[in-house]
Amino acid sequence: MDEPLSLDSFPARVREKLRYCDTDRQGHVNNAVFSEMLEAGRVALFYDSAAPVADEGCAFALVRLELDLMAELFWPGHVDVGTGIVEIGRSSMTLVQLVCKEDGMPVAKARTVIVQLNQAARRSQPFSDAARAALSRHALPRQTQG
């Protein structure tokens, strides 16, 4: 993944507190916890009640997650998660996310594919023009996409 390695590049950012229970036997934050951090970043982007992104009657479903762990992470502390959209397809989108320590050092990066799911039909549903416009507001600038 050749995505940007600066949180300033990302249109959505959230800070997450590291918990003692996030640590594993080696004393560092367990790799499984990174999925939760990434989820918090996606939720911050997608679920703003003042500016909904999904079409009416739809939700988002994660269908692919690529995660690169770049450095160890230790408790206590916080991480910052940056999230941005790099591609919008017919009914799916690709996100890039970056997890950084408080000092800005990247510790993980992810590429995620999300599908818009019609909740009644339980099938993918193409984005409306309104949803596509809302998603576009969260796009990473082209020059930083790698």
In a domain, 2, yes or no: no
Q: What is the pTM for the complete model shown?
A: 0.89
In a domain, 100, yes or no: yes
In SS3 terms, 128-139 reads as CHHHHHHHHCCE
* CB burial readout 11-28, b (16+ within 10 A) else e: ebbbebebeeebbeeeeb
In a domain, 1, yes or no: no
In a domain, 146, yes or no: no
Q: Return the pLDDT at 123.
A: 97
In a domain, 118, yes or no: yes
In a domain, 127, yes or no: yes
Higher pLDDT, 5 or 30: 30
Q: Return mean pLDDT, the chain.
A: 92
**What's the domain range around 50?**
7-141
CA distances from residue 101 to 72, 77, 98 in whole angstroms, order as listed: 10, 8, 10
pLDDT band with cut points at 50, 70 and 90 for residue 102: very high
In total, how many domains does the chain have?
1
Whichever domain contains 18, its CATH number is 3.10.129.10
Q: Return the pLDDT at 127.
A: 98
In a domain, 51, yes or no: yes
Q: Among 125, 77, 71, which Cα is nearest to 98's?
A: 71
Q: Return the pLDDT at 146.
A: 45
